[in-house]
Amino acid sequence: MLSVTEHKEIEFSADLISKFEEIVTRYPEGKQKSALLPVLHLVQAEYGWVSPEAMEKVADFLQIQAIEVYEVATFYTMFFLRPQGKFVLEVCRTGPCCLVGAEKIMTHIEKTLGVKEGEVTADGNFSWRGVECLAACGMAPVLQIGPEYTFYENLTEESVDKLIENLKNKI
């Protein structure tokens, strides 16, 4: 999963660092490791994924071992361990969504984008994947798009087409 062949140095911006510093103040002295999840979310929002280099930098900042960051980043499914499309469509694939057509929506997205689950379109703009229950079963089927995790509810093939068109216009 973790590539160590290409090591690209990265530098977090002063703005990002100041956000990290604010987060650390939420916990008692010496418990700065608690900031790990919120910090990784900020890193992913900035870079689109969590690279091994970014993980090492996060470890340096929080004064913990790099392995402590790796084991967390690989455990939680929200963190991307490789580059994704500019927009990642995450479709809920769990029971209640499937009762009202989530599988059809995923097939439609695969066909429309022309890439399989987890792959990135040639222009680098889109990728998609099925995710487990998003706790929005009453508005099913649903999908979300990071990094703000905007929600799209009661999906139909038509509403998905419209959404993808709107996203293309944002590029």
Partner 1 sequence: MARKLLLENINVPGIHTFDVYRQNGGYRAVEKALKTMTPDAVVEEVKTSGLRGRGGAGFPTGMKWSFLAKPEGRERYLVCNADESEPGTFKDRYLMTHIPHLLIEGMIVASFALGAKTSYIYVRGEMMPQIRILERAIAEAKNAGFLGKNILGSGYDLELYVQPGGGAYICGEETALIESLEGKRGNPRIKPPFPAISGVWACPTVVNNVETIAAVVPIINDGGEEYSKIGNGRSTGTKLISASGNLNKPGVYEIELGLPVEEFIYSEEYCGGIANGKRLKAVVAGGSSVPILPANLILKTINGQPRLMSYESLSDGGFQTGSMLGSGGFIAFDEDQCIVRNTWNFSRFYHHESCGQCSPCREGTGWMEKVLHSLENGHGKMSDIDLLVDVSKKIEGNTICPLGDAAAWPVASAIRHFRDEFEWHVTNPKEVMEHNYGLAKYADPLPKLEEVASQN
98 is in an annotated binding site: no
CA dist 169 and 171 (Å) reads 6
Kindly give, in sequence order, each residue whose CB lies less than 8 Å from that of residue 112, ignoring residues fewer than 6 positions away.
160, 161, 164
Residue position matching structure tokens 């293309």? 168
- Residue 137 annotated in ligand binding: yes
Q: Tell me the C-alpha distance between 167 and 171, whole Å.
A: 7
**8 A C-beta contact, residue 36 and residue 72:** yes
Burial zone of 50 (CB within 10 Å; 0-12 exposed, 13-18 middle, 19+ buried): buried
Site track for partner 1 across 101-120, x = CB under 8 A = --------------------
By beta-carbon proximity to partner 1, the closer residue of 97 and 113 is 97
- Which of the residues 114 through 153 are near partner 1 (CB under 8 A)? 131-140, 144, 146-151
Q: Which is nearer to partner 1, 24 or 115 (CB)?
A: 24
Residue 156 binding partner 1, by CB under 8 A: no
Identified binder of partner 1 from the candidate list 38, 46, 56, 121, rule CB under 8 A: 38
C-alpha neighbours within 13 Å on the C-beta side of residue 63: 6
Residues contacting partner 1: total by CB under 8 A: 45
Q: Which residues bind partner 1 (CB under 8 A)?
A: 26, 28, 31, 33-38, 40-41, 62, 64, 68, 71-72, 75-79, 93-96, 98-100, 131-140, 144, 146-151
